[in-house]
Chain A
C-alpha cells in the first residue's frame, strides 16, 4: 500500500509556464512534507519542505501548497525553466518516528521545453 500518491507521472511544460505536481497522503501522523529534486545521475536533493501548521511556503519560484483537511500537498514551479527539468519526489515523515524515515511518492519527470 503506497502511503504517498504522486501525480502526474510525467509532465511537459513550456518555458515560462507553471508546473504543478500533486501528492496525497493517508497517514495523519505525517508532520513533515519535503520535496526532492533529482537530476539524471545524481541523488535526490531537498528542494523545499513544509510543516502542517502552515498552508503555503514559497522559496523563489517554488511554492508548496498544503491542504491538511484534504491530506494533499502540491508543488508549484512558477516561470518554469529548462534547467528545472528533473524528477521531483514528494515525501512525508513522522517527527516521532525513525528520524527522517521518509515515505516517498513515485516521482514526476518534468520536462521544460525551451
Chain B
C-alpha cells in the first residue's frame, strides 16, 4: 500500500511568487490534514478535510493560503503571494474514519518551501 505522497519535495521561490503543493493521501483515507513546521519550531495544524469538505481550517495563517481537495482525493495547498515567513516544511497526513472513530495519522515526507 502506497503511503502519503507529497510533491514537490523542495521548492525555492522568490517573495511574491506563487507555489502549489500537492498531497496524495493513502487510498481510502477520508481525512486529510495539512501541517507546517517553521524554523525548527513545533509542527502546527493548518487544516483538515473530510473527503472534499473543509472540516476545520482554524490553523490557516491568512488568506494567502488556499487549500482544495476536489473530488475528495488529492489535495493542493497554494500560497499566493509567498512571503519570507512562509518558509518551512509543509506536511500532509491522512487517516481513516469509521463511525465516530478516527485512526492513526500517516504523514508524508513533507514539502520544504524556501522563500527568498
Q: Which residues of A does B touch, CB under 8 Å?
A: 2, 4, 6, 36, 41-46, 89, 98-107
Instruction: Determine the main DSSP class of B at the interface with A.
Output: strand
Contact of B95 among A4, A43, A99 (CB under 8 A): A99
Q: Taking the nearest CB of chain A, how far is it from the CB of B42, in angstroms? A: 4
Stretch among B14-22, B70-78, B99-107 lining the A interface: B99-107
Is there a chain A Cβ closer than 8 Å to B7's Cβ?
no
Q: Taking the nearest CB of chain A, how far is it from the CB of B112, in angstroms? A: 10
Is there a chain A Cβ closer than 8 Å to B53's Cβ?
no
Cβ of B109 and Cβ of A104 under 8 Å apart? no
Q: Taking the nearest CB of chain A, how far is it from the CB of B49, in angstroms? A: 10
Cβ of B91 and Cβ of A2 under 8 Å apart? no
Chain A neighbourhood of B93, CB < 8 A: 43
Q: Mark each residue of chain B from 1 to 42: 1 if its CB lies under 8 Å from any CB of chain A, else 0.
A: 000100000000000000000000000000101010000111
Distance, CA A2 to CA B42, complexed state (A): 9
- Chain A residue nearest in CB terms to B91: A43
10 contacts between A and B (CB under 8 A): A43-B108, A45-B107, A89-B43, A99-B48, A100-B95, A101-B45, A101-B48, A104-B35, A104-B42, A106-B41
Is there a chain A Cβ closer than 8 Å to B85's Cβ?
no
Distance, CA A43 to CA B36, complexed state (A): 12
Cβ of A107 and Cβ of B102 under 8 Å apart? no
Q: Taking the nearest CB of chain A, how far is it from the CB of B48, in angstroms? A: 5
Chain A neighbourhood of B55, CB < 8 A: 98-99
